[in-house]
Amino acid sequence: MEKISVIGMGSWGTTLAILLAEKGNSVIGWEWIKERAYKMQKTRENPFFLKGCPFPENLEVTNDLLYAAAKSNVIVLAVPSHVVRKIVRQSKDELHEKNIVNVAKGIEIETMLRMSEVIHDEAGIPFEKITTLSGPTHSEEVSKKLPATIVAASVSETYAKSIQHLFMTNYFRVYTSTDIIGVELGGSLKNVIAIGAGISDGMCMGDNTKAALITRGLREITRLGIACGANPHTFSGISGIGDLIVTCDSLHSRNRYVGNRLAKGFSLDEILSSMEMIAEGVNTTKSAYQLSHEMNVEMPITDHIHQILFEGLSPQEGVITLMTRSPKSEDEF
């Protein structure tokens, strides 16, 4: 059994902390807000993001980041992607020689780095000691022990297999991959397309529209992934099309919710201020837009989502301009 610290006790971090503790591991969960940490310690559950899921006895909650990082040999980073660097910077002296598991989905706006690259860049941790867990795994369902699958990706197949063994249960099936580029990009970029799916649903456009959006969105993700060095087959797997489908179609999806509210006429500021949890797709739209232009990869859906979010384009206008682009072969952009 391992000593594991889960850094970030949102809904997904809490779900994974409970899963790992129920497997008999000694688990510490770090919550950044002191009052929330105290409440979790007292009630033995997370009443803020995962009410009704009691903590096992071997799950401890703390507000002390350095304590959590120092006490365990496996560190699960379950904070939003835009604060991964900050958290790693604050705790990097305690992270050396540790095994790092990242579950954040995003691309850093300032550097265009994926999360494993951010961790390596900030703390000097070898890529062989970093894995990313990504797939179609809403915490609302995994916490109820409904069957789900996910991918553990690392440049080290040996390390990926060790993380596979650490997390796998009879309801949580973990596959391995050495294509961490593809797995991280698939998990990040699908959130952009999910905002588009929410817009489609909010405008009552129907199943045909959403099927087209998902299919063409996957082509965009794959093109950018190939340009970045990913294996194209990764995007037809669990962390690619699997995660894309669930995020575009599920009522649990925060990114789909953002798009849905945009289509109803709410501003982005109004939507985000009303949400307790983070919709990663908003920031990822910025980074995906920048990265695609730097790599000279045409991504028309992503471009239009960027215009809707940040440039004042209305969802209605966005649909028309997408649909009236010049005729092309399906193999084209």
- The Cα–Cα gap between 59 and 18 comes to 7
Domain extent for 41: 3-178
Do 64 and 12 share a domain, yes or no?
Answer: yes
Q: Do residue 140 and residue 263 come from a single domain?
A: no
- Let me know if residue 235 belongs to a domain: yes
Distance CA 329, CA 203 (A): 27
Query: Over 80: is that where the pLDDT of 332 sits?
Result: no
What residues contact 96, with CB distance under 8 A and at least 6 apart?
123, 124, 125
- Active-site residue identified among 190, 210, 264, 286: 190
- Work out the angle between the directed axes of helices 280-294 and 180-202 (0-180°, nearest 10): 120
Cβ partners under 8 Å of residue 93, min gap 6: none
Q: Is residue 57 located within the same domain as residue 129?
A: yes
| Percentages (nearest 5) of helix, strand, coil residues in the chain | 55, 15, 30
Q: Residues 242, 174: one domain?
A: no
pLDDT at res. 319 = 93
Number of domains in the chain: 2
3-class DSSP state for residue 118?
helix
Pick the last residue of a domain from 178, 201, 216. 178
pLDDT tens-digit series, residues 67-92: 999 999 999 999 999 999 999 999 99
Taking only the tens place, the pLDDT of each residue in 126-180 is: 999 999 999 999 999 999 999 999 999 999 999 999 999 999 999 999 999 999 9
The residue from 146, 178, 210 where one domain ends is 178
Tell me, yes or no, whether 200 lies in a domain: yes
Active site residue 190: yes
pLDDT digits (tens, 9 = 90+) for 193-203: 999 999 999 99
Q: Average per-residue pLDDT in the chain?
A: 97
In this prediction, residue 333 has a pLDDT band, given cuts at 50, 70 and 90, of low
330 inside domain: no
pLDDT tens readout for residues 290-331: 999 999 999 999 999 999 999 999 999 999 999 999 998 888
- Structure token pair of residue 28: 């510490």
Give percent of the chain with pLDDT exceeding 90.
Answer: 96
H or E stretch at 131: strand 130-134
Whether 331 maps to a domain, the answer reads: no
Q: Is the pLDDT of residue 3 over 80?
A: yes
The three-state secondary structure class of 312 is: coil
Of 178, 202, 232, the one marking the end of a domain is 178
pLDDT of amino acid 212: 96
55 and 92 share one domain: yes
Report the C-alpha gap between 218 and 212 in whole angstroms.
10
Are residues 177 and 49 in contact, defined by beta-carbon separation less than 8 angstroms? no
